[in-house]
Chain A
């Protein structure tokens, strides 16, 4: 009982800290916009925005988890996918599909990151392959021993 209460309190304080962080960030963003557009933001506005953002983030988290679990959750005999326990960019894209601009932005970012990854892989390959091979073998051994 006490543990549960302590945990509860800890969670609550954690939550408050998160909310505070969101509030601060929203305040900063609003300041930038105010400077840009020459409009004023009242405190209530910022508080409202931060509260809404926080709740929406909660929704997003739940949705992302649902999407991850949903992916591969099919009865089709193909069984191509397995239920994932990791949230991927696909899930995020599914989440953002409503707003076109956001979806486009995310897709672009995703492609950028993918490109970066490819480039890194290419760089790694271009590096002295011997070193890489040695490293890879070492890594493989390590991985093999771990698993």
Chain B
């Protein structure tokens, strides 16, 4: 079906739709606004919209522009949320078909007939000469189309109808959209004549092909922080709850700002970030180190760290601060959890002579610099061992695709909380049911492994005469693990396993801003 109407040989429906969608987004706000306006403003907008339409009619002759337009209409509707559920192919198909888009755009086709009288009313309501004028080009529009595509015109009009119906449903029944009005007025007649919507739910019939974009909902950081505070007071660190996959998290949104020290909107995170702008040399370096550590920290590392830190929690004043930055970090994903653990571990290890070494994390997750507390020796959980390297390596691939949902925050045993996440991962990657005892054993091994890694990091930093774990310690640990070799450097691992946003934070060349020294 899509082939029947391929605009250009080198353009696939996908690319076309993609282009349309890219351009359509920019116009949606305006359209929305127009819908929301009163009838008074609708009159004002009619001339503008008529202008738009007249300009559009010029390009109507071109087939692909027609598609674009119809797709734009469809896209406008669907950008509101339905778009993600369809492939470009199915979208285009629906445009081309005579079937009403209600099968795709609006689930119940019954709504359409109901909306028609509304639209008729609204069109009548706006009985201005402008609307009438608009009707003419609208009617002409389909006729001027390629002769072999009468259905497309009808479908296009129906598209608009559906779009308008949606708008009408949601907002006041204002015929703000002159095209919509024109559609309504013209379509009412057409509906009376030929309104036979064949329900072609082709997109529904093949759910396997539906490709969803990851639905990324922002994590409610306030709730996060609140919960974390509640939990931290009682337990060591409810890390697992916050150990959402890396994908999208509030701190991610902040991090995408690509400014290492940008002030996040989150109130609690301000504290974390305030520590950053108070730059001591070591802090900056420490941040780098943490980042480096993060690179190596995998989710499992985070888990272990979490559990470990939770074990040795001491009710230090840091605990208050730490949960927040760890929260934020964990919001970023497993990395966050690592940080939280780190901080917990650091608070715990402050009793020990040596500051906790930064556990090297597998190159999967990088903890964000922001979350790092300058004065708290971070103790990123050591990266999981080789035994878990398999699931870990797949974790970074999976993490970005995970949805960032903050599930119900049930109070768990913090010791277990950290590793349960990895248990789930493990049971997923085994592709077969796993015995509970086996899971427990794996958990124990992971725990031991992470403890070892943390100890190693601590030893490394102590060996270097430092009290804070730094990037070098992390890199050394990774090197010992064989993840960083002479062929594969740390930066390669960063780029390979971490989301691209971290690259700008962690790799100096990336955030240097193309400044060449000495200046040429």
Contacts and interface: CB of A to CB of B under 8 A. Distances in A.
Nearest to B475: A70
A74 B472 contact: yes
Contact of B460 (A70, A75, A77, A80): A70
Nearest to B482: A59
Nearest to A77: B281
B463 A94 contact: yes
A70 B476 contact: yes
A81 interface: yes
Interface string B420-435: 0000000000000000
A76 interface: yes
A108 interface: no
Contact of A71 (B285, B455, B464): B464
Given A67-B463, A81-B464, A94-B459, A74 B480 contact: no
A63 B480 contact: yes
B466 interface: yes
A75 B470 contact: yes
A97 B466 contact: no
Interface in A34-72: 63, 66-67, 70-72
B377 to A, nearest CB: 12
Contacts of A75: 281-282, 285, 288, 470
Interface string B455-487: 100011001111010101100100110000000
B470 A90 contact: no
B282 A76 contact: yes
A73 interface: yes
Interface in B222-264: none
A59 to B, nearest CB: 9
B353 to A, nearest CB: 15
B463 A74 contact: no
Nearest to B461: A74
B472 A73 contact: yes
Contacts of B480: 63, 66
Interface string A81-108: 1000000001100100100000000000
Given A77-B282, A94-B459, A97-B459, A71 B465 contact: yes
Determine which residue in A63, A72, A73 has the highest number of CB atoms from chain B within 10 A of its CB, and name it: A73
A73 B472 CA distance: 7
Contacts of B479: 66
Contacts of A70: 460, 463-464, 472-473, 476
Contacts of A71: 463-465
A94 B473 CA distance: 13
A63 B455 CA distance: 16
A91 to B, nearest CB: 8
A124 to B, nearest CB: 30
Given A63-B480, A66-B476, A76 B466 contact: yes
Contacts of A67: 463, 476
A75 B472 CA distance: 9
B21 to A, nearest CB: 46
A81 B473 CA distance: 15
Interface residues of A, number: 17
Nearest to B466: A74
Nearest to B281: A77
Interface in B126-141: none
Nearest to B476: A70
Determine which residue in A63, A66, A70 has the highest number of CB atoms from chain B within 10 A of its CB, and name it: A70
B285 A90 contact: no
Nearest to A70: B476
A86 to B, nearest CB: 14
A76 B281 CA distance: 7
A35 B337 CA distance: 54
B385 to A, nearest CB: 13
Contact of B465 (A74, A77, A94, A97): A74
Contacts of B281: 75-77
Contacts of A91: 463
Contacts of B459: 94, 97
A8 B468 CA distance: 43
Nearest to A91: B463
Nearest to B462: A94
A74 B466 CA distance: 8
Contacts of B285: 75-76
A81 B462 CA distance: 12
B476 A74 contact: no
Contacts of A63: 480
Interface in B439-466: 455, 459-460, 463-466
Contacts of B473: 70
Contacts of A94: 459-460, 463
B155 to A, nearest CB: 65
A54 to B, nearest CB: 18
A81 B465 contact: yes
Interface of A: 63, 66-67, 70-77, 80-81, 90-91, 94, 97
Given A75-B282, A94-B463, 10 more contacts: A70-B464, A73-B464, A73-B472, A75-B285, A75-B470, A76-B281, A76-B285, A76-B468, A94-B459, A97-B455
20 contacts: A66-B476, A70-B460, A70-B473, A71-B465, A72-B464, A72-B465, A74-B465, A74-B466, A74-B470, A74-B472, A75-B282, A75-B285, A75-B288, A76-B285, A77-B281, A81-B464, A81-B465, A90-B463, A94-B459, A94-B460
Interface of B: 281-282, 285, 288, 455, 459-460, 463-466, 468, 470, 472-473, 476, 479-480
Ranked nearest first, the 6 interchain pairs of A and B with the lowest CB-CB distance are: A75-B285, A73-B472, A74-B466, A81-B465, A94-B463, A70-B476
